[in-house]
Structure 1
Amino acid sequence: MLRHCTELYRSTQPCLPLPEGTLAQVVAQVVTPQGPGAARGSALLCPGASRPCLPPRLVQRAGPTLNGTDGLRALHLNVSRDLAHDLLFSFSPDQGPMTISSVEEGTAGKIRLPREIFQSLSSQAARVVVTVLDIQQLGMFKEDNQVGQVLDDTVVGIVVEDMDISGLQDPVRLTFAHRQLLRNVTPLCVFWDPNQGQAGGWNTTGCVTVPGDKQTDCSCNHLTFFTLLLNPALNRFTAQTVVAVASTSCGVAVAFSIFTIAFYIFLRCNYQQFRSEESLRTNLGLHMNLVSSLLLLNLAFLLNSGVSSRALPGLCSALGGLTHYCLLCCFTWTALEGCHLYLLFVKVLGTYIHHYLAKLCLVGWGFPALVVAVAGAIGSYGAYNIWTMDHQTVVHLCWINSKHVLVHYITICGYFGLVFLFNTVIFGVVAWKNCHLWSTGMVQGHCKAWRVALAVVGLFCLLGVTWALTFLSYGSSSVLMLYLSAILNSLQGLFIFIWLVVLYYPKMEETTSSLSHITKNDRTMAVSQG
């Protein structure tokens, strides 16, 4: 521990490397003076009382800036809960944190602490510790199999003593200043999570990254130790291979999406039950809308990748909006598949919903159009390039431009995250209900294991589980996840085609899958209970 370092303020000898672990306690020990000078860093105490007095000023330095320890610089402040403005700091790798009155231009990084933190204090004042650490000298924050590089080996820690600050409505904002980043790196705002892996690691939960030419802005809803991680781009061979695999898979997906729609038309035209039975028409109609959205998405991607490099700015914006719209339609229809599954297996519909499929179409095709219209109105679409490590453009697309990266995080990452969470819960509930019905003997007959397995795979495709692989394309497994994501997402049309042909083609008296049989059984139970 830090007991190896005595007289921190007077010593010029470097400390031993700080241990990993409870980092807030380590920082608290570093910034709290020991020995005769302890009063300099102590809270202001009222005579005869144990609680801090309200400092004469709303923000008062509780001790000198700590620069005596190699690799660590800290600022310790007492802050009143009556503070009426945000707290501003500047920092750089060569100088410790300093309070500033305004966000001044310059090469130093900036920190903005929202006053929301202090207005909820139970006491009159709180101690704030802002630290700037050189992790190369201190030997801290070492992540196993780390891919990215920490900007300038600098980590910024922000701690309010004796308080766990999280879930902020007004986030803490950090600006990391840097030179023009190379084309082969992508900045990412991260914080140190001691529960990540076995020895801790970098996490992005609650943080939003807004990259710029000479600075990157980070907005996080909690206080901890932050840094800017520079992730390398793919090498040229891997990038070209992923693009080739994705393009080929998209071509296959387009073909099988067309086959699926043709198969649906064949069933409607040749089998009376698919025209007369309401549940079959609704189920197949819902699946066809999802397949249609996948078809449009794959066509938009192929068109985008083939035309974008030669497209004029106006056409590029239109292509970006079209691709964004098709992707949002896919997400929305997977969510509607989950809602429909919930109504069939959990809610058990006992009443007829007038124009049910038409209402689903209004949401499935209309909501994404509204989102894209708003994003287009603020100029979110334009050229988007993916670079390799040798500074070559491997992919040129028309997509959401880098100036509106928040649109990407909100409408893509955030929206799909909610859809995926909802559909995962629905899948778990349906699986439990299915097992319960079979175990209690409410479902008669025997269903082959391969048909059950195929039904599960089909549900995974319908509920969009393969899209979740994209969220795993980070760290040491990023290349593998990119390959799997490119293949499985673009082949959803093939999976759904096989699923529908095997489960819906009426070769035997069993006209539908075991899932539809359970649906009928549920409806019979609901009627008998009514």
Structure 2
Amino acid sequence: MWLTEFERPSQSTGGDPKPRLLTEKLRKLLPMEPRLRDNLRVVFVLIIFSAGSSEHDLDWKFCGTWRHGKGSLMLNINLTTGCSEISVSANNSSLSIDGQITAQCRRSDRIPLGKFGLEEETPFCLYWEPILDQLKLQLNQKEEVGGENLTLCWPARMQRSCCTDLSYGANADEARYGIKDGMVKADPMSDKIMTAYSFKGDPIDCKTLCVQESQGSSQVNMASRAQHPCPHSSEVEMKEDFRGQNVTAPTTRGVSAESTVTVYLPPALKTAAKLRSKVICTFFKNNSLFQNGHKEDRVLDNVVEITVENEVIVNLPDPIRIGFHHGKMHLRRCVSWDTRKDPSQVNWLEDGCKTEQKGPKYTECLCNHLTYFTVLVQMEPRPVRHLLALTAITSLGCAVSVISCVALIIYLCRKRRSKEQSIPIHLGLAVSLAFLNLLFFLTGILANVGGESVCPWVGAGLHYALLSSFTWMGIEVFHTFWLVYMVFIPPPKPYVWNLVGFVLPALPIIILAAVGDIYGVRKVVPSDDVSNPYLMCWMKENHEALLAHYFTTMTILAVLVSSGVVMLFLVYREIRTREEWRQSRVAFLSIWGLSCLFGTTWGLTFLDFGPLSDFVLFLSCILNSFQGFFLMLRFYMLDWIRKQAGGSALGSTSTGSTRQHMLQSQEKS
């Protein structure tokens, strides 16, 4: 194993093939005892590597898979200052990290890992940043379980001595439980299950590492500087006549001046700092160290720490102003790192900070306490343009549709005596649309009044009403197909349609509600005022709710629209030769009414992209929110036309073929 590792070209030497060639020559020149020969190879290659590399590691990453038993798991941490070694060990119930590699961090702790005990294996990665004195553990990247980022040693001020160049120590024993597939960065170490891995470190002046990354000229060094920049600290002495001061982060080579950070320290800070008069501002440029593990948002590149040594300062009457210059962004908010509850958890909170967005490329944070500060950029959902206008159209359309559906229900109930086969189906669609539009009209009000206590129920009801409406539209498609192509077989009884239209959509809702954390308050962010989102009761913005949305709503909608378009074409082909089709108003109402019945207008949802996105969005909003009104108008207009023509505007039902008769009956109803 050792020879295999050292024969591989080293990343620090730029992939130099000389060690491999020399090792091959050594194999031919040393016909001696195998174990002694292997040891000489290792020593020889180590000499070559140590002589050929003058760069030091700016970071260290160890990954593996923890093989454990099912049940309660623990993370054991025992870290002290120094630079001797770090050991990563594991058994059937605990993962342990011990050693002396930190400059300032001291920690001895036991952390329960409850949710990871459901599986027998847990992937993990351990990251070490010597410049920042930060050790971070990432557990489990599987989506179905959910990962967790633990900061074992959090960033501190610039220290003098850094512990770096961690090298693999002595071999550990193989076992049933432990760490398998261990690897450092991209280099595999062993595919066996080992009880422990140990790594020895070397102390070095931290300034040497910063000089190394600031003076590197190769592409490898350029990438390294972008990923592991040194923090910069600025000290401000608050004298008796302190009237406030601006502190600006120093710009480094290759970094745009537009990405700087400016901190304004108010005079109130002097009054609040009773014991000390020196403020330290530390500027970080490595957001990977401060990520909170959620894909919905990410931390801005710049992070600033503001401290007064050994003092906790909160509730400043005059807030600290931190200005962040960045690229063009829409959804962003100022946050601070709450280290009071659990310093190991990266926990960004908005408490104590106010966000002022002064343009798409500049954000100012007004905070009344001292800690780490940054801007959290929300990746999803995208901001919605013209949200106020779309909301007004939707509210008006839903209100009109509710009234129209009620009128249509009364109209269809009176026509049930005609015993037309389509009446119960039209009635079911009208009821489901009335329920859908009513809930959608009230969802904003209920979200603001009831919040999380009401929205899970309203969101589930809104989802049920939507699926029920789609199901009834699908029944309209299927029933039309039955009348046209299966004329000699009577269609199912009305109670069958009721079971399919009202009961079947409830099954996925019950399952999702049992899973939990699917329905709740949903924020729809307007592009013109991202700090004032529109609240509604719907599915949440987590991964589980997104999967539920695609597997239920979007799947049913895709099937409905595709089948509706096909059936609309087939019906058009059958009725376009009829005498009354030549009347433009009958033709328009026929196609328009069938489009509403078959749900084809919902197909505009899939066209919300490109330069016509705004137009498609408004058109979809108008057609679908007023759908109940259009359906009522269609039925009333066709009935009025039929009466004006003496009952034959759509053709007589007493003559012609059986297929013609079914088509005419369907079009009448």
Q: TM-score range by the shorter chain?
A: 0.5 to 0.7
Structure 2 counterparts to residues 386-405 of structure 1, below 5 A: 386-389=524-527, 390-403=529-542, 404-405=545-546
Q: Which amino acid aligns with 2:609?
A: Y
Aligned residues: 325
* 1:509 counterpart (623, 646, 653): 646
Q: 1:479 Cα shift?
A: 2.1
- Partner of 1:247 in structure 2? 395
Match of 1:393, SS state, is: coil
Provide the alpha-carbon RMSD of the alignment: 4.5
Residues 348 and 523, structure 1, Cα contact 8 Å, conserved in 2: no
Closer, same or farther in 2 for the Cα pair 1:519/1:242, shift >3 Å?
farther
* 1:361 counterpart (492, 498, 503): 498
Residues 487 and 659, structure 2, Cα contact 8 Å, conserved in 1: no
- Partner of 1:15 in structure 2? none
1:383 aligns with 2:518: no
- Partner of 1:275 in structure 2? 417
Q: 1:295 Cα shift?
A: 0.8
* 2:476 counterpart (329, 337, 341): 337
Match of 2:573, SS state, is: helix
Residues 408 and 632, structure 2, Cα contact 8 Å, conserved in 1: yes
1:434-462 Cα deviation digits (max 9, x unpaired):
34xx2xxxx56675222012100111111
Closer, same or farther in 2 for the Cα pair 1:525/1:248, shift >3 Å?
closer
- Partner of 2:215 in structure 1? none
Match of 1:364, SS state, is: helix
Closer, same or farther in 2 for the Cα pair 1:285/1:518, shift >3 Å?
farther
Alpha-carbon distance in 2 for matches of 1:341, 1:385: 39
Residues 561 and 600, structure 2, Cα contact 8 Å, conserved in 1: yes
Query: Which structure has the highest helix share of the two?
Result: 1
1:491-516 Cα deviation digits (max 9, x unpaired):
11111112111223451433573598
Alpha-carbon distance in 2 for matches of 1:106, 1:518: 75
Alpha-carbon distance in 2 for matches of 1:413, 1:515: 40
Structure 2 counterparts to residues 10-21 of structure 1, below 5 A: none
Structure 1: segments with no counterpart, 5+ residues: 1-8, 13-87, 91-99, 108-133, 135-174, 187-212, 215-227, 269-273
Residues 183 and 387, structure 1, Cα contact 8 Å, conserved in 2: no
- Partner of 1:261 in structure 2? 409
Q: Which amino acid aligns with 2:384?
A: L
* 2:455 counterpart (296, 316, 335): 316
Alpha-carbon distance in 1 for matches of 2:389, 2:656: 44
1:39-78 Cα deviation digits (max 9, x unpaired):
xxxxxxxxxxxxxxxxxxxxxxxxxxxxxxxxxxxxxxxx
Match of 2:533, SS state, is: strand
Residues 519 and 538, structure 2, Cα contact 8 Å, conserved in 1: yes
- Partner of 2:615 in structure 1? 480
Closer, same or farther in 2 for the Cα pair 1:344/1:314, shift >3 Å?
same
Structure 2 counterparts to residues 142-221 of structure 1, below 5 A: 179-180=298-299, 184-185=330-331
Alpha-carbon distance in 2 for matches of 1:392, 1:516: 61
- Partner of 2:559 in structure 1? 418
Which structure exhibits the higher relative contact order, with contacts defined as CA atoms closer than 8 Å and separated by 6 or more residues? 1
Closer, same or farther in 2 for the Cα pair 1:296/1:515, shift >3 Å?
farther
1:374 aligns with 2:511: yes
Alpha-carbon distance in 2 for matches of 1:295, 1:400: 21
Residues 308 and 398, structure 1, Cα contact 8 Å, conserved in 2: yes
Residues 296 and 326, structure 1, Cα contact 8 Å, conserved in 2: yes
Match of 2:520, SS state, is: strand
Structure 2: segments with no counterpart, 5+ residues: 1-10, 15-122, 126-137, 142-146, 151-222, 224-293, 301-327, 333-346, 349-377, 664-669
Q: Which amino acid aligns with 2:504?
A: F
- Partner of 1:234 in structure 2? 384
Closer, same or farther in 2 for the Cα pair 1:250/1:476, shift >3 Å?
same
Alpha-carbon distance in 2 for matches of 1:332, 1:378: 23
Q: Which amino acid aligns with 1:179?
A: R
Match of 1:385, SS state, is: strand
- Partner of 1:430 in structure 2? 571
1:139-180 Cα deviation digits (max 9, x unpaired):
xxxxxxxxxxxxxxxxxxxxxxxxxxxxxxxxxxxx979624
Structure 2 counterparts to residues 96-111 of structure 1, below 5 A: 103=141
